[in-house]
Amino acid sequence: MDQQPGDASLPAPTSPLAPGDATSGSAREVAPLPHDSLRHAVHEAARLLRADGAILYLLDAETRMLRWAYDSGLTETSDRGWMRELTMPIGSGMFGAALAQRSIRITNDYLEDPSFAHLWMADQVARGAPIRSMVVAPLIAGDEIIGAMGVYIGRPGALGEQDASVVRALADHAAASLANARLIEALARSREELARQAEQERALREISSRIALLGQTDAILQRVVDESRRLLGADGAHLCLLEGDRRYLVPQVLAGGMDQDTAVWLRERRFPLGGGMNGLAALQGAAVRTEDYRVDARIPHEADDQATADRMGLGAMAVAPLRTPREGIVGTLAISYREPRAIPQASIDLLQGMADQAAIALSNARLYEALQRSESRYRYLLTNAPDIVFSIDTEGRLTFLSDAVESITGWRAAELLGRTWREVVDHEASPDLRDAFEAMRRLPFPSASQRFALRHRDGTRIPADMRGVAIVADGAFAGAHGIVRDLREQVRLEDDLKHQATELATAGERARLARELHDSVTQALFSMTLTTRSVELLVDRDPEGAKRMLGELRSLERDALAEMRALIFELRPGHLEELGLEQALRMHATAVQGRTGLPIAVACAPVERAPLAVEDALYRIAQEAIHNVVKHAGAHSVDVRLDQEAGALRLRVADDGAGFDPAAVPAGRMGLTSMRSRAEGVGGRLVIDSTPGAGTRLKVAVPVTPA
């Protein structure tokens, strides 16, 4: 048991018990006063044995020497002063002997007694007192030696066994009550410990609750440092942060008696990692302590260190690292005492607890900073993004709009806030948007995506794409937010692409026409060559037959010329514009029929001239369709029809050929894709109806507004 605090609380032996002593602690109000019982024992022993004096020495735990504590009946003449100064080791003198043997001792003549090791000083005191007969009883509680009590008489042989029993009884009683008192005191201390722990816990809790309040990092760190100093009874405390690429620690937060100059000076110190106590704790990632910084062998003790230690008043010191899960060690928390002393493990644990709190606060602060940075980045994106970021309430009123809205719609965000989305939408071009919103309002779907059109301030239509997410609160629709992208550029690009595809297709068609022209001319010439030879062979033997053959030759010539003219004409840009769709279709059909012998019937209802783009698209589609029939269908006849109904120009190409399964035709084959994109390019629709063995019907309808 640590006797130090007990010693410190001993009342001055000679003075009567101070009343304050009796009420100084809650535990003492109920427990017998320990030192009062010692004093009582001394007095009683002297009184009961009618002795000249009684004296009680207590064992000093630190020096292991017996030191005077109480006496009774001593006078100045009996060398009281000497007796009170006397110290004895266990084993020497009669007191020491009693303790060494843990038994009561009795002597009839102290100075002459050979049964114990005499101490010169003690003998002097005994001679002067004088002490002749004496009983000494050890005060032992359990295993612990408390001290010894002696009762003496100036005559030899004056004390017997009975006296010894009395002294022993008194001593045992005193020892027991002292032991009890110490137990009670220990109990009280443990209660205090509990209270202190509660206090520590409270402090930690308070700090951790403050950590939740972001942005108060400095205040939290200051509190951690202040509380560490207070709770650990330290003279100073400081917190360092690891800086300079984790090479050194810089004192940031300080507490404890330190003048302004020292504080400023300290904040400019750099403690290298692994150097001082702070550096050691940071390097090892564990708390370190020293009973005396100034003589600790682990410290390099360079001139600078010593100067720091002197100026900060470092004696005993403990340092705990600030550990964070994300960054590892970020700093240290230190407490210091001016005087050397032992720092118990409990204090280290508490310090580490405080350091952990500080680390969490720092970690949070850094996270918060990162968050703020990313938030400011987000704001930057929000204000600089080309898309409109919006949010609407349950009624569809705009509650937020990013600045992009102005460059896209011509309206400033402030002008539109509070109005509903319906006011900035081109409804004619956005038939599905209202339904999408109503559906989301009824049953908050997590997200919606719509292609629609905005209405610009000047009334123009802006193709756009909206991606929205419903805000759901308590299961109910609470609004939505999302982004709107301006598709003008995309639509323009798509148009360009379509145009290019058309041009490419046109180039492909020209190449095909040129090839057909070549083939056709070749075949016509070949036919004419053959027929001419036939005429030659017939001239002599069958003049009539030769004549008939010449007629065929002329017909071949005529057909060939017509076909070539048609093909060359088709190759010429602008032929369609000149002829009109109907005539162009007829001419093409005639050319193909002449070449292939496949009957192609063209039936045209009276139609108005449509825009050239529409006529061109229909003409190309018809060409491709007829080409397909010739090439793939093996048909006996083809039917081409053109008419107009309900504002739409309609083309139909039907054959009685082999037919095919449209679903089984690979993309890009038979020009189906290019035909379809041509139709869609002018706002029309193309349908192919075909089944194997049942011919093919291709239909195109293009809405036209009379020019």
Partner 1 sequence: MDPSRRDHATRPLQVLVVDADRRVRQSLCGLIDLAEGMEIAGSAADAAGALAGLAQGGVDVVLLDPRLPGFDAGKALVGAIARDWPDTRIVALYWPEDPGVSDGARVTVLPSAVQPDSLVDLLRISATAAVGKGAPPLS
Residues that bind partner 1 (CB under 8 A): 523-524, 526-534, 537-538, 549, 552, 556, 559-560, 595-597, 630-635, 657-658
**How far is 671 from 674, CA to CA, in rounded Å?**
5
CB of 562 to partner 1, least distance (A): 12
* Contacts of 457 by beta carbon, 8 Å cutoff, 6+ apart: 409, 410, 411
- Nearer of residues 293 and 660 to partner 1, judged by Cβ: 660
Owner of token pair 């060494």: 100
The nearest distance, CB 533 to partner 1, in angstroms, is 4
DSSP string, 129-150: TT--EEEEEEEEETTEEEEEEE
CB 596 → partner 1: shortest distance, Å?
Answer: 6
Q: Identify which of residues 246 and 533 has a Cβ nearer to partner 1 in the complex.
A: 533
Q: 378 vs 526, which CB is nearer to partner 1?
A: 526
Shortest distance (Å) from residue 688 CB to partner 1: 17
* Helix (DSSP H) and strand (DSSP E) numbers for the chain: 22, 22
Q: CA 681 to CA 630: how far, in whole Å?
A: 26
Q: How many other β-carbons are positioned within 10 Å of the β-carbon of residue 81?
A: 12
Q: What is the DSSP string of 69-81?
A: EEEES--TTTTHH
Judged by beta carbon, residue 197 or residue 534, the one nearer partner 1 is: 534
Angle at 510 between CA 504 and CA 512, to 5 degrees: 105
| Closer of 233 and 634 to partner 1 (Cβ) | 634
Q: How far is the CB of 521 from partner 1 (least distance, A)?
A: 11
Rounded Cα distance between 633 and 700, Å, is 19
CB of 595 to partner 1, least distance (A): 6
Cα–Cα distance for residue pair 178/468, rounded to 1 Å:
82
252 or 623, CB closer to partner 1?
623
Find the shortest distance in angstroms from Cβ 630 to partner 1.
6
- CB of residue 619 to partner 1, shortest distance in Å: 22
Catalogue the long-range contacts made by 587-593 (C-beta closer than 8 Å, 24 or more residues apart).
588/619, 588/622, 588/623, 588/626, 589/626, 589/638, 589/640, 590/562, 590/566, 591/562, 591/563, 591/566, 591/567, 592/626, 592/630
Q: Which is nearer to partner 1, 551 or 647 (CB)?
A: 551
Give the span between the Cα atoms of 508 and 512, in whole angstroms: 6
* Cross-strand pairs, 685: 701
DSSP conformation class of 158: -
Residue 475: Cβ-neighbour burial (10 angstroms; 0-12, 13-18, 19+): exposed
| 135 within 8 A of 167, measured Cβ to Cβ | yes
61 vs 658, beta carbon nearer partner 1: 658
Query: What's the rounded Cα separation, in Å, for the pair 243 and 506?
Result: 70
What tokens does 182 get?
């110490």
Q: Which two tokens stand for residue 434?
A: 């209202």
User: Smallest distance from the beta carbon of 676 to partner 1, in angstroms?
Assistant: 21
Query: For 679, phi and psi rounded to 5 degrees?
Result: -65, -45
What are the CA-CA distances from residue 174 to residues 3, 56, 383, 455 (Å)? 17, 11, 86, 103
Query: Which residues, including other chains, have CB under 8 Å from residue 195's CB and lie 6 or more apart?
Result: none
Work out how close the CB of 664 gets to partner 1 at its nearest, in angstroms, rounded to a whole number: 12
Collapsing DSSP states into helix, strand and coil, what is residue 481?
A: strand
Distance between CA atoms of residues 559 and 593, nearest Å: 10
Nearest residue (CB) to partner 1, 184 versus 538? 538
Query: Is the distance from CB of 273 to CB of 279 less than 8 angstroms?
Result: yes
Nearer to partner 1, 524 or 614 (CB): 524
Residue placing its CB nearer to partner 1 in the complex, 259 or 540: 540
Nearer to partner 1 by Cβ, of 479 and 671: the residue is 671
Report in angstroms how near the CB of residue 530 gets to partner 1 at its nearest: 4
**From the CB of 690, what's the least distance to partner 1, in Å?**
14
Q: How far is the CB of 635 from partner 1 (least distance, A)?
A: 8
Packing angle of the helix pair 161-211, 345-384 (nearest 10 deg): 0
- Give me the least distance between CB of 440 and partner 1, in Å please: 50
- Which CB atom, from 379 or from 515, has the smaller least distance to partner 1? 515
- Toward partner 1, which CB reaches closer, 69 or 638? 638
* Single-letter amino acid code for the residue at 644: Q
